Amino acid sequence: MFRQMIARVIMMLLIVVLVVPTSWAMAAESEPTHVLIVYDSLAKGTSKEGNVEALQRLLASDGVRVTLCSLETYQKGTLQQYEKVVGVFNTSDLKISSTDYLSDFAKYDGDYMHIGAMLPAKVQSSLGIRLQMSEGETIRLLMGQFIQESIQVQQLPRIIATTGHTYGNVTSTSMNHATPYGVRNDRYAYIPYFEKGNLSELALSYVLKDWFAIKGDRHQYIVFKDVYPFSDLKLLEHMADRLYDAGIPFMVSVNPVLSNTDYPAMKRYLETLKYVQSRNGSILVNAPFVASPFSHLNRDLGAQMETFIDVLADHGLAPLGIGAEMYWTYDQHYIAKGMKFFDSVVEYPNEKIMYKEQTNTSQPFESSLYSLQPDFLKQYLYKKSKVIDPLPMDTALVFKFFADEKELDRAVQQLADSWVTFADYKYEQHNVATQKNKISSDGGFLHINGQVVALNDAKKSVDSNYTYKQVEKKSFEKWFHVQDRIFIVIILFTIVAFGVLFISGYRLYKRKYFK
């Protein structure tokens, strides 16, 4: 008996020792990395304007949570709360005035990436860097398979020597040899030049991937956005057929319908989307258009988004994620109401920021695609005769839905002729959940509430002769119709009688006048 008790105690201890640390490890793995961005300025009115926003989107594609902090608002002890910090310094003529930041940085022992001017001495020493400042340069940037000629740079710290691992190269007419675009070792990384909208935006992603030690394959996708119930649905079907025949998987980001979901236009929209889904197309829900942060104050965004997802699911459609401008992930209202149903997102660049409850910390997603314009890769491709390798992050080439068939055919032919290999979104794991429906994808299969979705391409015909407002039964309806006819007869008789009297009076007056 005593031996059995000892054996049970030993067994329980083994369970605690083996199982609990494993669960802790799993919990630690599931928690996304939290990164702090510290910046000296947003460089408004200069060529560097927007580079902080571009960095935010790049970090989101790596699945990390981001907190934004300017040096002006920095509070003592902030750095020590983060494992990784990125410093963006857009000005070289201003010294750092925050003594709290300087004091904290001197003691900071986490991973740090520096972008731009004012490279800290301990980072420079750790990377074994020697710098040479150049002014008013026209440079050529080469990174992997991509190249951009003739980039105008006002100030550029050149890395002329380093002991770290280097990335890409930069050349110019004033230098006899190429210098690295960026450099990294185990803890530190340095990028002298970064701007939004040119090849440096893509080049930075190569350094970020290694700095985060990201493993696994990355994929490229195609997304078509701005699809509405009143879009050219025949053209949408034609596009699905063309891409299916070319063997190109794609996604359609559909604009949600928040009311009148029983109208025929909506029914035809759903039937067309079902056909698109059957032609190897994946469905995303686009974020609703925000005209003003103060409009629709009484609108329950969460309930309306949930209703639309349920309408799709009830019709056999499996939406797998949401497409939204980046600022949505930095707004507590949009996160809690509009995005809470999804674990996957395609982040578009900000076009018109309409915050409702702005926060400086982003919402990370299990899957986050970095969106690019279709011509971005093509214009910078260095070797056009070879297959384009996957980029360092999951990427979506985003097209606006086409205006006509000629534009569609031209774009599809370019995609078919390209060397880019596009992935099928539903082969990755995505989850969408409402109170009523659980939607998921994995390995190429779609599931709604545990049932595999049958990809049937048959479409139901929807009657266009539809009364948009139901006619109610009315009391005395027949009597009112009879009454209307009587009034019409009386009015016509009165008009005829008035006409006869008018003519008779005119003739009598005329005779009297001649006499």
445-448 and 319-325 strand pairing: unpaired
- Of 362, 387, 366, 363, give the one whose Cα is nearest residue 377: 387
Q: What is the dihedral of CA 106, 111, 114, 120, to 10 degrees?
A: 20
Gap between the Cα atoms of 165 and 455, Å rounded: 48
**243 touches 417 (CB < 8 A):** no
**404 touches 384 (CB < 8 A):** no
How far is residue 119 from each of residues 44, 133, 346, 498, measured CA to CA in Å?
A: 21, 12, 33, 98
- Helix, strand, coil shares of the chain, percent, nearest 5, are 35, 25, 40
Q: How many residues does the chain have?
A: 515
34-39 and 65-70 strand pairing: parallel
Domains of the chain in sequence order: 34-211 (3.40.50.880), 220-452 (3.20.20.370)
Which pLDDT tens digit goes with each residue over 60-118?
999 999 999 999 999 999 999 999 999 999 988 778 888 999 999 999 999 999 999 99
Which pLDDT tens digit goes with each residue over 176-230?
788 999 999 989 999 999 999 899 999 999 999 999 999 888 999 999 999 988 8
- Of 209, 248, 210, give the one whose Cα is nearest residue 370: 209
Which pLDDT tens digit goes with each residue over 39-51?
999 989 888 999 9
Which strands, in side-by-side order, build the sheet including 146-161? Answer: 146-161, 130-143, 169-172
DSSP 335: I
Let me know how many helices (H) and strands (E) the chain has, helices first.
12, 21
Mean pLDDT computed over 233-252 = 94
Tokens of 112: 């740090």
Which pLDDT tens digit goes with each residue over 470-514?
444 444 556 556 777 788 888 888 888 888 888 877 777 766 666
Tokens of 121: 């001495």
